[in-house]
Structure 1
Amino acid sequence: MAMRFDGRVAIVTGAGGGLGREHALALAQRGARVVVNDLGGARDGSGGSATAAEAVVAEIEAAGGEAMANAASVTDFAAVQSMVDAAMSRWGRVDILVNNAGVLRDKTFAKMELEDFRFVVDVHLMGAVNCTKAVWDHMREANFGRIVMTTSSSGLYGNFGQSNYGAAKMALVGLMQTLSIEGAKNDIRVNCLAPTAHTRMTEDLGARLPLDLLEPEMVTPGLLHLVSEDAPSRCILAAGAGGFERAYITLTKGAWIAGEDAPEQVAARFAEISDRSGEIVPEMGAAQGMVELTKAQTAHNG
């Protein structure tokens, strides 16, 4: 059965081009009414114009869909709240939020100005927080919500020259982990998408990437699943060039170590501590403490 979004209202940030545009077009094509948000600024976040968002709305409407443009900066909570209010006023609901807006200000940490670090974190992390906060109560009242944070392999695994971007992207995973727990009772499912695609954000890497394989539309099928009726929750889905994988944050079985020579024992047994056989994916943060207490009790009782 075809995946449909009839009757649903979606907000997609950073939807004036690249991945966001593909997400918005695909949601509209499958029946959703879409708020196309885009500040219309440069890749580093400077400037701004509603033109990009309006162009995507025109595409959606030309294809028979419903959409509205919005040029709010995701860093401005009042503007974000007004965007959500406008969607509620026009359509009476917000079911889906795709936190896709982002900027790049790449430099090595040694050369990076703190303002560039703060700004990138503000857009990616606080931008997602602002948008999520603005829709959260509406979704709780409706007992339905689908939220996607756009993370990145740069956050999950690191990337040279992207300490600010990587920190922000990994922070979104932490946000997803907790919100998925808090939203579960109201059927608010929260996931992360880690895309690999050729967009304006990656244009400097063009010569090193097989661009014909990395079109943004190759990522969007994963996004559609993450916001569907049957979506998972607490999933980190990696997607690019038609490949789809899941990333996990795991905990090894580790070892119990105590005593005056504990530092030396940690060093000596670090391979055992690092052994990934039998590793687990904890259900929540408290699981780490329970694993450690179990080791301690076993050691004392043994």
Structure 2
Amino acid sequence: MICADRVVVVTGAARGLGRAHALELAEQGAAVVVNDVGVELSGSGGDDRPAKEVAERIEELGGSAAVHGADVGDWQQARELVQFAVQRFGRLDAVVNNAGVVRDRMFVNLSEQEWDDVLRVHLKGHAAVLRHAAEHWRDRAKAGEQVAARVVNTTSGAGLLGSIGQTNYAAAKAGIAALTVNAAAELARYGIAVNAIAPSARTRMTEDVFAGMMAEPGDGGFDAMAPENVSPLVAWLVSEQSTGVTGRVFEVAGGRIAVETGWRHGPAREADRRHAAAEIGTVVRELLAEAPEPEPVYGA
């Protein structure tokens, strides 16, 4: 029960990773606001039953849950989601930003709408909920309260390394990684820790990629691509046990957890003058020879 008495908003919590997170957090003692707009991956429809089923399951297990259908890509609705959590449970301790959509397409075939849809839900959806939650926690900190707030964002290997056919998704997820690092630096003074996960799991967005990757006979029944494998790390990051951990990105898949190191200052050449264009080639090639080779882009 490492999240006992914590109140957590989980976005995109009706299915897949979000559902697994919500159930794990509830099992660890948290009250959960199950946020989901209930649309299909295409953006069509709108069904609140899956979110309600998650909340009902939590309550059946003896936990506390409430449903809120905010569109996290809408600035005002994101604010209302944060306000709802505070009004419903009397406080807010953490946000797990998980909601997302995909519009996979080779870049030269990508439409403006497909670009906008993915950036809006992933990047703006993360930023909007984080922005309003951070304001709430800042006000509490300024009022003298000892705040121990947590934010867990969801980036992706696509955002960290790139992914062929997913330029819009990769750009959004890279933005989320940068959002995480920057927000962690700005918000630490208020007692807010901001981290991110880059999960690999079988969900509606990845079922074609991971089709057939189930537990094999004789391996103990461990399904390496099950969304539930990711959620214990999320619960720990939400808990107060994670004090001192912020601005980090963790890759998690099956039983593997890794810390992603991201961009770092590499080899350099210094001069007490402006470099001439004719000599740039020599300088750059020397630097590249000293630098490690970049990780390959997924699908390359």
Relative to the length of structure 2, the TM-score reads: 0.86
Query: Which structure has more helix as a fraction of its residues?
Result: 1
Offset of residue 182 of structure 1: 1.1
Aligned mates of 2:171, 2:278 — CA distance in 1:
31
List, as ranges, runs of 4+ consecutive aligned residues in structure 1 with deviation greater than 4 Å.
Answer: 208-211, 257-261
Asked if 1:205 is matched to 2:197, the reply is no
- Residue 180 (structure 1) aligns with: 184
Asked if 1:132 is matched to 2:130, the reply is yes
- Residue 65 (structure 1) aligns with: 63
Offset of residue 225 of structure 1: 2.4
Asked if 1:223 is matched to 2:234, the reply is yes
- Residue 268 (structure 1) aligns with: 282
- Residue 94 (structure 2) aligns with: 96
Cα deviations by residue, 1:122-178 (Å, 9 ceiling, x for unpaired)? 000111111112211222215231011100011111101101000000001111111
Q: Which is worse superposed, 144-153 or 204-213?
A: 204-213
Asked if 1:148 is matched to 2:157, the reply is no
Q: Name stretches of at least 5 consecutive residues in structure 1 with no aligned partner.
A: 278-302
Aligned mates of 2:22, 2:266 — CA distance in 1:
39
Instruction: Trace 1:224-239 onto structure 2 (pairs within 5 A).
Output: 224-231=235-242, 232-239=245-252
Aligned mates of 2:210, 2:177 — CA distance in 1:
27
- Match of 1:61, SS state, is helix
Aligned mates of 1:261, 1:29 — CA distance in 2:
60
- Match of 1:85, SS state, is helix
Cα deviations by residue, 1:53-88 (Å, 9 ceiling, x for unpaired)? 101001100000000011111112222222222211
Which amino acid in 1 is paired with 2:124?
A: M
Asked if 1:250 is matched to 2:264, the reply is yes
- Residue 32 (structure 2) aligns with: 34
Q: CA contact under 8 A between 1:103 and 1:123: conserved in structure 2?
A: yes
Change over 3 Å in CA distance of 1:203–1:185 after alignment to 2? same
Q: Which is worse superposed, 127-136 or 13-22?
A: 127-136
Aligned mates of 1:260, 1:63 — CA distance in 2:
67
Offset of residue 276 of structure 1: 4.1
Change over 3 Å in CA distance of 1:114–1:209 after alignment to 2? farther
Asked if 1:110 is matched to 2:114, the reply is no
Q: CA contact under 8 A between 2:3 and 2:235: conserved in structure 1?
A: no
Asked if 1:82 is matched to 2:96, the reply is no
- Match of 2:259, SS state, is strand
Q: CA contact under 8 A between 1:23 and 1:220: conserved in structure 2?
A: yes
Q: CA contact under 8 A between 2:252 and 2:258: conserved in structure 1?
A: yes
Which amino acid in 1 is paired with 2:270?
A: W
Q: Which structure ranks higher in relative contact order (CA pairs < 8 Å, sequence separation ≥ 6)?
A: 2
Q: CA contact under 8 A between 2:156 and 2:173: conserved in structure 1?
A: yes
Q: CA contact under 8 A between 2:229 and 2:254: conserved in structure 1?
A: yes
Offset of residue 44 of structure 1: 2.7
- Residue 297 (structure 2) aligns with: none
Q: CA contact under 8 A between 2:2 and 2:236: conserved in structure 1?
A: no
- Residue 193 (structure 2) aligns with: 189
Q: CA contact under 8 A between 1:50 and 1:70: conserved in structure 2?
A: no
Aligned mates of 1:217, 1:191 — CA distance in 2:
19
Relative to the length of structure 1, the TM-score reads: 0.86
| Percent of aligned positions that are identical | 38
Cα deviations by residue, 1:187-223 (Å, 9 ceiling, x for unpaired)? 1000111000011110121347457311011111221
- Match of 1:119, SS state, is helix
Aligned mates of 2:155, 2:186 — CA distance in 1:
20
Which amino acid in 1 is paired with 2:252?
A: A
Q: CA contact under 8 A between 2:8 and 2:96: conserved in structure 1?
A: yes
- Residue 219 (structure 2) aligns with: none
- Match of 2:108, SS state, is coil
Which amino acid in 1 is paired with 2:187?
A: G
Q: CA contact under 8 A between 2:28 and 2:235: conserved in structure 1?
A: no
Aligned mates of 1:207, 1:67 — CA distance in 2:
32
